[in-house]
């Protein structure tokens, strides 16, 4: 695994040792001799992780870490503090400063490389989400985060020793809701059924291999990105290292110090919720990019790409496919007589009626202005024509309420086209449906016209098409 590593230490011998060890793993390593130099380098060089000595002249490692984590431009960069200090108070001070790990000299090379690879891999997940979310933010497609709506954190603890689990729950106090499962299979079921902010696992499970449970959790879609924290014995280094390779986010060693456990768990909860917000922003960006804001229907961009896949499916599986183009009659007159607010309300109501009276298999889109398109997979031209007539009557049957409290009748004209064989394509189908719409308008509006120029008969109706025919009657 490649990655950019910044080593910060005022002792050149220490720097050279780390450069050699990490370089052997094909990391791109740079170094800084003090805190000021490190902060300047971070601002200009996008590193993936910082290995930071604590005892340095000028700014010590704690202060440098604090500044890295307080800057929004670098807060996402993992920091490993490396020091000869091994007291619990020193670890807690480092964790309070925002450090992701605290390693004591002399550092075990295997443990160091495993932790570096682990943190780089976890960072890349966040980086991908950040990049996509930033794109949406720049385009104004995301909404600001409101922290007041966050719920109390929920944790899952998997531990088959009651004495151990009770101590851990007591240590976590009232910071969060903790669900306890005494067996690994039950823990896996609980994790698959509920949403958790962090999962704690006793590495020393008596009746099940905890590493296998970690692997199973990482294989599930629901728990793939949920932070996992192990509770391990100090002499179980090999299994702890293996757990990091499997994707565990952090671990705490026995005897568990309450403040350290809380800080590590809070850090994982914060990272999880931050990633959840980024993922939600990405989903919102995608949804807004393919959704018409006035009607909530899919927009023309989505229609064009989706139609390509439907045509390919129809061609390969020899299935029927039909398209409706729907246009609101005399729409300019509605705007001129009643105003654009009334026009917008009519468009929204037409969209609502179309959506309410089409199958979930169908795709209703706003094509532009007062035009709509409905894509109907597995639907023959004859059946689609019947559906179009039913939709025309539904639009005409009930008056539309206007902002002025007045009501008016609205009608639509509809053009229908069907997939005409292997040489047909989506663009040609839309053109034929549009030509049929033109004929419906020319015949006096409030009518349905079908494509008369299909070059080949459509495939026979499937069961779905037969259901559609029944609906169109």
Encoded tokens for 31: 């170094």
439 catalytic, yes or no? no
Cα–Cα distance for residue pair 410/412, rounded to 1 Å: 7
CA distances for 291 relative to 278, 323, 365, 366, angstroms: 20, 19, 9, 9
Tokens 């670890």 found at: 91
Supply the DSSP string of 42-94, one letter for each residue: HHHS--SEEEEESS-SSS-HHHHHHHHHHSTTTTTS-EEEEES---HHHHHHH
Cβ neighbours of residue 400 under 8 Å, at least 6 residues apart? 345, 346, 349, 407, 408, 409, 410
Cα–Cα distance for residue pair 173/163, rounded to 1 Å: 16
- Residue 285 half-sphere exposure, CB side, CA atoms within 13 Å? 20
Cα–Cα distance for residue pair 351/358, rounded to 1 Å: 11
- Residue 425 half-sphere exposure, CB side, CA atoms within 13 Å? 5
Given the residues 181, 260, 370, 371, the one annotated as active site: 370
Question: Active-site residues: which are they?
Answer: 370
């Amino acid at each position: 695994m490649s990655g950019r590593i910044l080593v910060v230490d005022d002792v050149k011998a220490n720097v050279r040792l780390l450069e050699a060890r990490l370089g052997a793993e094909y990391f791109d390593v740079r170094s800084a001799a003090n805190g000021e130099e490190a902060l300047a380098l971070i601002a200009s060089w996008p590193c993936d992780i910082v290995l930071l000595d604590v005892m340095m002249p000028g700014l010590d490692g704690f202060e440098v870490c604090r500044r890295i984590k307080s800057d929004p431009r670098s807060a996402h960069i993992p920091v490993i503090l490396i020091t000869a200090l091994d007291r619990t108070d020193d670890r807690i001070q480092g964790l309070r400063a925002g450090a992701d790990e605290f390693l004591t000299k002399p550092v075990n090379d295997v443990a160091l490389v495993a932790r570096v690879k682990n943190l780089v891999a976890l960072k890349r997940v966040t980086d991908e989400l950040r990049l996509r979310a930033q794109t949406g933010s720049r385009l104004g497609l995301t909404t600001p985060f409101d922290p007041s709506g966050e719920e109390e954190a929920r944790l899952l603890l998997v531990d088959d020793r009651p004495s151990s689990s009770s101590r851990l729950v007591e240590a976590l106090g009232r910071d969060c809701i903790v669900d306890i499962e005494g067996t690994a299979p039950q823990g896996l079921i609980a994790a698959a059924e509920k949403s958790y902010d962090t999962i704690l696992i006793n590495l020393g499970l008596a009746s099940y291999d905890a590493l296998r449970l970690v692997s199973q959790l990482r294989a599930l879609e629901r728990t793939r990105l949920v932070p996992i924290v192990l509770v391990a014995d100090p002499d179980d280094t090999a299994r702890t290292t293996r757990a990091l390779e499997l994707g565990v986010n952090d671990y705490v060693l026995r005897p568990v110090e309450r403040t350290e456990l809380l800080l590590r768990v809070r850090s994982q909860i914060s990272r999880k919720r931050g990633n959840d917000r980024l993922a939600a922003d990405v989903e919102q960006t995608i949804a807004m990019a393919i959704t018409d804001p006035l009607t909530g229907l899919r927009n023309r961009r989505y229609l064009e790409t989706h139609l390509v896949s439907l045509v390919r499916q129809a061609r390969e599986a020899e299935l029927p496919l039909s398209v409706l183009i729907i246009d609101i009659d005399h729409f300019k007159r509605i705007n001129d007589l009643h105003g654009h607010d009334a026009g917008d309300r009519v468009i929204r109501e037409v969209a609502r009626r179309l959506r309410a009276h089409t199958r979930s298999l169908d795709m209703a889109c706003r094509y532009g202005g007062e035009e709509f398109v409905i894509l109907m997979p597995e639907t023959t031209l004859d059946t689609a024509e019947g559906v179009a007539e039913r939709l025309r009557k539904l639009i005409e049957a009930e008056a539309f309420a206007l902002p002025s409290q007045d009501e008016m009748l609205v009608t639509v004209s509809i053009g229908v086209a069907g997939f005409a064989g292997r040489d047909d394509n989506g663009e040609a189908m839309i053109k034929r449906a549009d030509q049929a719409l033109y004929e419906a308008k020319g015949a006096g509006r409030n009518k349905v016209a079908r494509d008369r120029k299909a070059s080949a008969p459509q495939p026979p109706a499937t069961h779905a098409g037969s259901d559609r025919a029944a609906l169109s009657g």
